Structure 1
Amino acid sequence: MDFQYKIPAAAVLGPALLAFALVALVRHRRDAPGWRGGPLLLRSVTALYATAVASLTFFPLWIYGGAYRNEAEWIGQIQPVPLLLADITMVPNVIMFLPLGFLLPLLFPRITRGRTVLACALISLGIEVTQLLQYIAFAHGRAVDINDLIANTLGGLLGYATLRAAQRAATTRAALERVSSPAQTVG
């Protein structure tokens, strides 16, 4: 049977955002720590950011079957040699992870630079693996590229550096402290 089916981002991410909004509402009404005022705003911005990243990296999700199915070997979708084809196209990947490097220390005030960069690298790796699994399962998807992992991780580091620079100025430090989550330990 030949078929092609498109799953738009809104079909998956819309309900996910709605679920977040319901959790936020319940926690806000129960006066849970970190779910009022600035911290709630920070969590909401982070949820919107995560939704945007998921939309850009996973959707639309095309499912093909029969004659429409891509018969190219999945192993050909992996580009493991770093920086061989590095060019200006890496810039969007750097930019995409700047907010993550900025937001993580606000969500987890005790997180270190190293753990922020590690988290960015692991999240980027998760995206690349998910894209590969999409290709294997649905015979359609994006190439898995080590350059994306490098660029995303660099973006996270630059986001972290941007936050620390902003925290040095008294006016921005005060504003950032108002939205930052209550101090949490990072295991």
Structure 2
Amino acid sequence: MNFQTEIPTTAVLGPALAVFAVIAFVRRRGNVPGWRGGPLALRVLAAVYTAAVLSITVFPLWIYGGGYRNAAPWISQIQPIPLLMADVSMIPNVIMFVPLGFLLPLLSPGLTRGRTVALCALASLGIEITQLLQYIALGNGRSVDVNDLIANTLGGLIGCAALRVTRRATAARAVLDRLSATHGGA
């Protein structure tokens, strides 16, 4: 039996954001530390950013069966050699992870630059593994590329560096401190 079906992005991420909104509302009403003022705004921004990244990298979910299923072996979907096929298409992957490198230290002020970059690399690896599993389980055309992992990690490093530079300005530091999880109504 041949079939193809789509699980739309909004069918998954819409309810996930709605659940986050309810949790945020309940925690804010309950005066839970870190869920008021700037930290709440930062958490909302992080949730929207996460949904945006997932909508680009994982969704919509396409499910293929029968003759529509991609018949290439799953191993052929992996590009394991770094920079072999590197080109300007890596730039969007760099840009996509800049906000993550900027947001993580604000959400968890104790994070070092190394740990922030490592978390960005792990998030990117998680996306690539998810894309591979989608290919194996759902038969879609997603591929796994080590260059995406490199580009995303570089984006996280750039975001972390941008945060460090931004914090040098007194006015910007004051705003960032109000947003940070350890300040501004936490």
Q: Normalized against structure 2, the TM-score is what?
A: 0.97
For the Cα contact (< 8 Å) 1:132–1:141, is it kept in 2? Answer: no
Residue equivalent to 2:173: 173
Distance in 2 separating the partners of 1:163 and 1:87: 27
Aligned partner of residue 5 in structure 2, secondary structure: strand
Q: Give the match for residue 68 of structure 1.
A: 68
| Aligned-residue offset at 1:168 | 0.2
Aligned position for 2:129: 129
Q: Residue 141 of structure 2 corresponds to which residue in structure 1?
A: 141
Deviations 1:130-169 (A, max 9, x none): 0000000011131100000000000000000000000000
Distance 1:111 1:60 in 2: 32
Give unmatched runs, 5+ long, in structure 1: none
Report the 3-state secondary structure (helix = DSSP H, G, I; strand = E; otherwise coil) of the residue aligned with 1:6.
strand
Distance, in Å, in 2 between the alignment partners of 1:141 and 1:34 is 41
User: What value does the CA root-mean-square deviation take over the aligned residues?
Assistant: 0.8
Q: Check conservation: 2:102, 2:163, Cα contact below 8 A.
A: yes
Equivalent position SS for 2:181: coil
> Hey, what's the Cα distance between the residues in 2 that align with 1:72 and 1:80?
17
The amino acid across from 1:52 in the alignment is A
Matches within 5 A, 1:109-128: 109-128=109-128
> Matches of 1:67 and 1:160 in 2, distance apart?
46
Matched, 1:8 2:8: yes
User: 1: CA distance between counterparts of 2:2 and 2:140?
Assistant: 15
My pick for the range that moved more, 123-132 or 58-67, is 58-67
Are 1:93 and 2:97 matched, yes or no? Answer: no
Q: Aligned with 1:131: secondary structure? A: helix
Deviations 1:11-56 (CA, angstroms, capped at 9, x unpaired): 0000000000000001001000000000000000000000000000
> 2:158 aligns to what?
158
TM-fit CA distance, 1:67? 1.6
Q: How far does the alpha carbon of each residue in 1:50-74 deviate from its partner, in whole angstroms, 9 at most, with x for none?
A: 0000000011111011121111111
Q: Distance in 1 between matches of 2:165 and 2:71?
A: 49
8 Å Cα contact 1:101/1:116 also seen in 2: yes
Query: What is the number of residues matched between the two proteins?
Result: 183
CA distance in 2, matches of 1:145, 1:66: 26
The alignment-based identity, stated in percent, is 67
Aligned to 1:48: 48
Query: 1:48 corresponds to which letter in structure 2?
Result: V
| Paired letter, 1:34 | G
- Tell me how far 1:2 sits from its aligned partner: 1.4
1:18 and 2:22 aligned? no
Structure 2 residue runs without a partner (length 5+) = none
* SS of residue paired to 1:62: strand
Moved over 2 A (4+): none
